[in-house]
A and B are shown apart, each in its own frame.
Chain A
Amino acid sequence: MSAPRIAIVDYDLGNVKSMKNALSKVGAHPILTNSRKEILSADALVLPGVGAFSHGMQQLKKHNLIDVIHSFASTNKPFLGVCLGMQMMFDRSNEFGETEGLGLFSGDIKIVGVGPIKQQKLPHVGWNNVCLPDNIKNWKNTIFAEIQGNTDMYFVHSYAAIPLLNTEILATTLYYDHVFCSAIMRGNIYGVQFHPEKSAEPGLLILKSLIDLA
């Protein structure tokens, strides 16, 4: 069997080289592309991204990628959004004014844990645990299949998703006294707030599971 072809959405944003290297490392054949044909014929899709939500959405529009992303999402092939890529899968964000997202998941993107805690630092940078949420029994048959509960992953962000449906939450993470959604899933569509491509061996296991699902 030849290596699964994984399309990485190319919209001039963020460090896609690391994602490409990480996917190669776990045996995939990654293709950095914004071609409709290449995306739709891929075995899985990764939407990477760092930076501001509004800028990310602008870039997707500029490269005419909104429609093809929706088309891919409606197949049964695995689709993973990473960091800003996950955030853009939601309805909207209020980072620098309200911006509409892709609407693949219901909910909003808001600043992490605005609350009374004064000592909280933002951005949330570093290694933090991903935990199994109450709504699911285990991570079998998901991209977290090979991961133990409470494994550390590498995060760097100031905003996070507030999903409308708790049932779609795949993992949660504690930052100071605030629990936020660090991974989301519905069917073939996944989003992770952390960077699996920068999370050492456990991160690579997540990418390996993604291609195993392809």
Chain B
Amino acid sequence: MLKKRVIARIDIKNEFVIKGIHLEGLRKVGNPNDMAKFYYDEGIDEIFFMDAVAAYYDRNSLGGIISKATKSVFVPITVGGGIRTINDIRKALASGADKVAINTQAVRTPEIINKAAKIFGSQCIVASVQAKKIAHDKWGAYIDNGREPAGLDVIQWAIKLEQLGAGEIMVTSIDQEGTKKGYDVALCNLLANSVSLPVIASGGAGSPQDISNLCSNSGVDAVAIASILHYNLSSISAIKSKLHSEGFNIRL
């Protein structure tokens, strides 16, 4: 059976791994290549590198880090942040990434998703959606790493992204991100039920229990975790054992 994936999300600024709260107040926590290799050795299912400030500063600079990572990390690698053109995607893939995640540019010019899916295949286009709760069971999409409202309803936008040809959707709850207080389960559940694409949940995991809560109460296909690993609050094996012992299909 297909397994639920546990993905290490590594946010990067100026070649350092950083972590904030609600995507703000960023702190340096380590070296991206060392951390990726460590998580790979510990049994992570995928690595997600995000240039945390690229969209804001209109740049894209993870090529060297990706290139180095692919020499020692033999699980899928996704790169996001500041992907604006077909050429940016080509460069990210050429540096060794398997997938690219696109948020801001998809909001500005949704056709990039369609165009990229046609050229590179849907399997390497992850639509990244940043969501902030605006009312009961209603979330607004944000761009520029959580700074600017996109003026779109998250669920409607995700449905549109599927139609445009995205291969997966990663949803980050800005409200929960960095808080270590658990995922926005209602958001993840509604989103996973609204699209037929694989959904990756991101933002809020502080304990193995948070991850198991999410998996029990939503149909997400993958969970992205950051603080819990970066701050050594738990280990990949502890998280996976817990999920496995609760009956979820997990790669051990």
Contact = CB atoms under 8 A, between A and B. Distances in A.
B167 interface: yes
A18 B222 contact: no
A50 B251 contact: no
B186 interface: no
A126 B97 CA distance: 16
Interface string B54-79: 00000000000001001100111000
A124 B196 contact: no
Interface string A191-214: 000010111110110000000000
Nearest to A154: B76
B123 A50 contact: yes
B210 interface: no
B30 interface: no
B95 interface: yes
B115 interface: no
A106 interface: no
Interface residues of A, number: 34
B74 A199 contact: yes
Interface stretch (B1-9, B134-142, B201-209): B1-9
Contacts of B98: 15, 18, 156, 198
Interface of A, helix, strand, loop or mixed by DSSP: mixed
B251 A152 contact: yes
Contacts of B120: 50-51
B40 interface: yes
A157 interface: yes
Contacts of B197: 121
B2 A127 contact: yes
A94 B75 CA distance: 30
A122 interface: yes
Interface in A162-184: 174-175
A125 B221 contact: yes
A52 interface: yes
A128 interface: yes
Nearest to A118: B196
Nearest to A174: B1
Interface in A15-52: 15, 17-18, 21-22, 24-25, 50-52
A188 interface: no
Nearest to B122: A123
B122 A127 contact: no
Interface of B: 1-5, 40, 43, 45, 67, 70-71, 74-76, 93-98, 120-124, 167-168, 196-198, 221-222, 251
- Nearest first, the 9 A-B pairs at minimum CB distance are A51-B121, A152-B251, A17-B96, A127-B3, A127-B251, A156-B123, A128-B2, A125-B198, A198-B76
Given A15-B93, A50-B121, A156-B167, 10 more contacts: A15-B97, A21-B74, A21-B96, A22-B74, A24-B71, A121-B197, A126-B222, A198-B75, A198-B76, A200-B74
19 contacts: A18-B70, A18-B74, A18-B96, A18-B98, A21-B71, A50-B123, A51-B120, A51-B123, A121-B221, A123-B122, A125-B123, A125-B198, A126-B2, A127-B3, A128-B2, A156-B167, A198-B75, A199-B75, A200-B40
